Amino acid sequence: MAQELTVAMPKGRIFQDAAKLLRQAGIQLPADFENSRKLIISAENCSMKFILAKPVDVPTYVEYGGADIGIAGKDVLMEAESDVYEVLDLGISACHLAVAGLPDAAKRSSAYKVATKYPKTAARYFREQGEQVEVITLNGSIELAPLIGLADCIVDIVSTGRTLKENGLVEKEKISDITSRLIVNPVSYRLKKADIDQLIGKLTEVVKENLNGMDQKSGVEVLK
């Protein structure tokens, strides 16, 4: 690649899946990529540099040009509403966003309280349902809120469903499916179009291969 690309990677639950995808696309990452404490790491066979950021900050790095490209969960993107191009569904780290609460939770009223780390998304969802609720923003362990009476329900990510189950909560409504996406800074896309398109092309192939692999394993036929 002629020009160096800076890629913002989300530390945490998406990281392993994202690193695997990059390796599948032929990008040689150092052997300790997943375990290093370094925050800036270069690829070994191409002109790419990776910055390791908190997932919620990835859209910010890309929007402001700190990175040309980023990998971010759709949940984070829906909340951030950043001025970035979302160019590819990477199909990794699948989960969904849902409303959950205690099985016998009260019916919704105007005093209904919703705890979440996605305040904008939650407010938008209930507004679209024509319901007025009070949104309480927390930064983690959201499931605690209905257990200790801070909120009537939560809006949060459900992956395996284990956190809900182990805390005696149930899913009430699914809001949307979530996967990780490739995002691009609009100015970078103009200035480094050939290199970025080449990367998008490689990753698109990998995503297709992975999807085919999944179909064969499950025996499910997917419309292409």
**Binding residues for ligand PRP (CB under 6 A):** 140-143, 156-163
CB of 159 to ligand PRP, least distance (A): 3
Q: Write the secondary structure of the chain as one string of H (helix), E (strand) and C (coil).
A: CCCCEEEEEECCCCHHHHHHHHHHCCCCCCCCCCCCCCCEEECCCCCEEEEEECHHHHHHHHHCCCCCEEEEEHHHHHHHCCCCEEEEECCCCCEEEEEEECCCCCCCCCCCEEEECCHHHHHHHHHHCCCCCEEEECCCCCCHHHHCCCCCEEEEEECCCHHHHHCCCEEEEEEEEECEEEEECHHHHHHCHHHHHHHHHHHHHHHHHHHHHHHHHHCCCCCC
Task: State which residue has the least CB distance to ligand PRP.
Answer: 140
The residue (of 5 and 154) whose beta carbon lies closer to ligand PRP is 154
Task: Between 160 and 216, name the residue whose CB sits nearer to ligand PRP.
Answer: 160
Least Cβ distance, residue 49 to ligand PRP (angstroms): 26
As measured in angstroms, the least distance from the Cβ of 145 to ligand PRP is 11
Closest distance to ligand PRP from the beta carbon of 217 (Å): 21
Identity of the residue, 68 or 143, whose beta carbon is nearer to ligand PRP in the bound complex: 143
Residue whose CB is less far from ligand PRP, 47 or 141: 141
Report, in Å, the least distance between residue 16 CB and ligand PRP.
14
Closer to ligand PRP by Cβ: residue 162 or 224:
162
